[in-house]
């Protein structure tokens, strides 16, 4: 059985890559063969090998199955702005992104993490948002909630949008991105009561987080036991 999850965030800069690499590391420790994909990335740097995105490189390194960079991140955009703006005259489409993902999925793996870009409704073009990708692939979704002021509203609205798009929220991760967040535990409890999916882990604020350290805070058992993909 192959487990494939789409990792979405309540916003940009909430730790999707931190969580995705921690998920891959936790799965590696269980002896699973893993792949990490970042099919669309804005904010890439020019290198001798071409445009490279730091998040995509981290996913490539965290996975146990090797893929070339172009397979991990087939659409690399230089400007660190919304993808449809960063793309300029290059036309983005959900079907094109899905085709890239399906090509990478031909590699043998037990577990695959496909990381989104920005929030759930980030535009691809005049008609589509990135949410169309997990829709077309019928993927279960893991939501990364950036724990900061306003996170309850952001999380509930995103969960509603995921459900409205006909997809299943199979789990969520609380990632403390504000070390000085007031009433962190109270906010976490409210989210646990209102989000209709299991909490996979609550990641603390760390000065130098690593996927190895953060994997300790995640519990994949509910996902691995219930995921049908």
pLDDT digits (tens, 9 = 90+) for 157-210: 999 999 999 999 999 999 999 999 999 999 999 999 999 999 999 999 998 889
Looking at 7-128, list the stretches that DSSP marks H as alpha helix, in order from N- to C-terminal side: 16-29, 54-62, 69-72, 83-86, 94-104
Q: In this structure, are residues 144 and 175 in contact, taking their beta carbons and an 8 Å threshold?
A: yes
Burial (0-12, 13-18, 19+ Cβ within 10 Å), 106: exposed
The pLDDT of residue 1 is 65
How far from the centroid of its chain's Cα atoms is residue 74's Cα? 16
Q: Could you confirm whether 38 is annotated as catalytic? A: yes
Residue 226: predicted pLDDT: 65
Range(s) of the domain holding residue 119: 3-226
Give pTM, 2 decimals: 0.95
Q: How far apart are CA 57 and CA 62, in angstroms?
A: 9
Number of domains in the chain: 1
Checking 49-57 for CB contacts under 8 A at 24+ apart, the result is 50/76, 51/76, 51/77, 51/78, 52/76, 55/16, 55/17, 55/115
Please check the confidence at residue 126 and state whether its pLDDT lies above 60. yes
Out of 2, 16, 38, 192, pick the active-site residue: 38
- Model confidence band, residue 228 (pLDDT cutoffs 50, 70, 90): very low
Nearest to 143 by CA among 124, 111, 178, 167: 167
Q: DSSP readout, 123-161?
A: BSSSS-BTTHHHHHHT--EEEEEEESTTHHHHHHHHHHH
Q: For the domain that residue 103 is a member of, what is the CATH number? A: 3.40.50.300
């Amino acid at each position: 059985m192959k487990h494939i999850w789409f990792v979405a965030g309540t916003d940009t800069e909430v730790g999707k890559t931190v969580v995705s690499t921690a998920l891959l590391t936790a799965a590696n420790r269980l002896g699973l063969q893993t792949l990490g994909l970042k099919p669309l990335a804005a904010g890439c740097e020019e290198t001798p090998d071409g445009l490279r995105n730091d998040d995509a490189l981290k996913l490539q390194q965290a996975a146990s199955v090797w893929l070339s960079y172009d397979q991990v991140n087939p659409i690399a955009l230089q400007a660190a702005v919304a993808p449809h703006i960063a793309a300029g005259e290059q036309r983005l489409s959900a079907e094109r992104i899905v085709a890239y993902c399906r090509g990478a999925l031909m590699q043998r793996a037990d577990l695959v993490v496909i990381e989104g870009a920005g929030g759930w409704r980030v535009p691809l073009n005049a008609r589509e948002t990135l949410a169309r990708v997990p829709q077309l692939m019928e993927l279960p979704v893991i939501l990364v909630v950036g724990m900061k002021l306003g996170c309850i509203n952001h999380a509930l609205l995103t969960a509603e949008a995921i459900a409205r798009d006909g997809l299943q929220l199979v789990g969520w991760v609380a990632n403390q991105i504000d070390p000085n967040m007031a009433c962190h535990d109270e906010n976490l409890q409210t989210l646990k009561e209102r989000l209709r999916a299991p909490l996979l882990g609550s990641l603390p604020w760390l000065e130098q987080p690593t996927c190895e350290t953060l994997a300790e805070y995640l519990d994949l058992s509910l996902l691995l036991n219930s995921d049908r993909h």
